[in-house]
């Protein structure tokens, strides 16, 4: 059930050629520009499909037509650091004119691998704090892109979880410090969250066993809730996380919409499809001659709040109508 209606008009494949510029029609695949894209998911992951769909649509809107005037090399690296490094090497060997990279580990791998190929990062937290760029307004060098969120969002997660679960007294932020090294930003936000009645803690998890242990402990504590950090390890582990949390009666809030679609309770975070589509505009500008270092790093402009009422009912929770009215989507 949609609480806010968004209408997207997407032309069919037959209509797309009508928007092509003369230059696009004139080029052959041999003359096509080359773009590399690195994603931290499997090829069939719904989140990966959504991001790529929006990126491709954005490119088409800007007259970049795959197989005609642009060739896009995709690598689906998952969250394994060695696989990510290998995928980066393959992309660079293909000599793209721009590399689009999703996730912090992906950017951490591609950044030292090239200082000449322009890099557009997408959905990376705290790019200045992590040392990827010296400034958001003037990134300089060969890197620019789109950050994920402001640290204050963690306090909002705590508040929203408390809105869904009355009597919330303890919230645990769970994430993998190896794939989410921006731990300090999370932690500082948690310590200053505007809900002092809720005790907030951090749980580092690197394995399925550590995830299970963390959720099991929360299941034994009244008034506890789980915040699933937005790192690629946990996104790829969302199915067992959702299953364990629901079995243990632990209310959860996560970063990505797909978490709620797959059975999680609440999600609040940027519209990743919107960010992916906006990234295509930076690729377009770089292919047309602009320097990535002159393009400011952009923050999200659209956030989504989503709740799964079926899951809420199974957990014995009844979100207030005032909360539901705030939601962009209510899954029933």
Strands 224-228 and 170-175: parallel
One DSSP character per residue, 305-330 reads EEEEHHHHHHTT----HHHHHH-SEE
Q: Which SS3 state, helix, strand or coil, does residue 284 take?
A: helix
One DSSP character per residue, 163-178 reads HHSTT--EEEEEE-TT
User: Which pLDDT does position 12 carry in this prediction?
Assistant: 35
Segment holding 121, helix H or strand E? strand 119-124
User: Which pLDDT does position 253 carry in this prediction?
Assistant: 96
Which domains are present in the chain? 16-147+272-301 (3.40.50.2300), 153-269+304-331 (3.40.50.2300)
User: Which pLDDT does position 195 carry in this prediction?
Assistant: 55
Could you list the pLDDT tens digit for every one of the 332 residues in the chain? 444 433 333 333 333 333 333 344 344 455 899 999 999 988 898 889 999 999 999 999 999 999 999 999 999 998 888 999 999 999 999 999 999 999 889 999 999 999 999 999 998 988 998 899 999 999 999 999 999 877 778 888 989 999 999 899 999 999 988 877 776 666 666 666 555 678 888 899 999 999 999 999 999 888 999 999 878 889 889 999 999 999 999 999 998 888 999 999 999 999 999 999 999 999 999 999 999 999 999 999 999 999 999 999 999 999 999 999 999 999 98
Strands 143-147 and 119-124: parallel
How far apart are alpha carbons 132 and 143 in whole angstroms? 8
Indicate the pTM of the whole model: 0.83
User: Which pLDDT does position 17 carry in this prediction?
Assistant: 35
């Amino acid at each position: 059930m949609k609480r806010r209606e968004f209408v997207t008009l997407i032309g069919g494949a037959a209509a797309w050629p009508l928007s092509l510029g003369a230059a696009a029609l004139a080029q052959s695949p041999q003359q096509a520009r080359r773009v590399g894209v690195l994603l931290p998911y499997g090829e069939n992951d719904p989140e990966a499909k959504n991001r790529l769909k929006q990126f491709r649509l954005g490119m088409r809107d800007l007259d970049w037509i795959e197989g005609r005037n642009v060739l896009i090399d995709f690598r689906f690296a998952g969250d394994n650091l060695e696989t990510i490094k290998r995928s980066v090497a393959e992309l660079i060997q293909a000599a793209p004119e721009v590399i689009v990279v999703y996730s912090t580990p992906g950017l951490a791998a591609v950044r030292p691998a090239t200082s000449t190929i322009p890099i557009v990062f997408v959905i990376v937290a705290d790019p200045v704090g992590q040392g990827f760029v010296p400034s958001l307004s003037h990134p300089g060098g060969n890197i620019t892109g789109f950050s994920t969120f402001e640290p204050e969002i963690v306090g909002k997660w705590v508040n929203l979880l408390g809105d869904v679960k009355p009597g919330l007294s303890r919230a645990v932020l769970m994430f993998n410090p190896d794939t989410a090294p921006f731990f300090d930003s999370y932690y500082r936000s948690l310590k200053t969250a505007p809900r002092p009645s809720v005790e907030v803690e951090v749980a580092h998890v690197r394995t399925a066993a550590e995830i299970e242990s963390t959720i099991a402990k929360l299941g034994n504590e009244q008034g506890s809730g789980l915040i699933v950090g937005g790192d690629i390890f946990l996104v790829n582990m969302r199915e067992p996380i959702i299953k364990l949390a629901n079995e243990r009666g632990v209310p959860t809030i996560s970063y990505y919409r797909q978490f709620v679609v797959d059975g999680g309770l609440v999600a609040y975070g940027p519209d990743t499809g919107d960010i992916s589509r906006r990234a295509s505009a930076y690729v377009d500008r770089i292919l047309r001659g602009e320097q990535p270092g002159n393009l400011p790093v952009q923050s999200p402009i659209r956030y989504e709040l989503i709740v799964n009422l079926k899951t809420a009912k199974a957990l014995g929770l009844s979100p207030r109508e005032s909360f539901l009215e705030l939601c962009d989507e209510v899954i029933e």
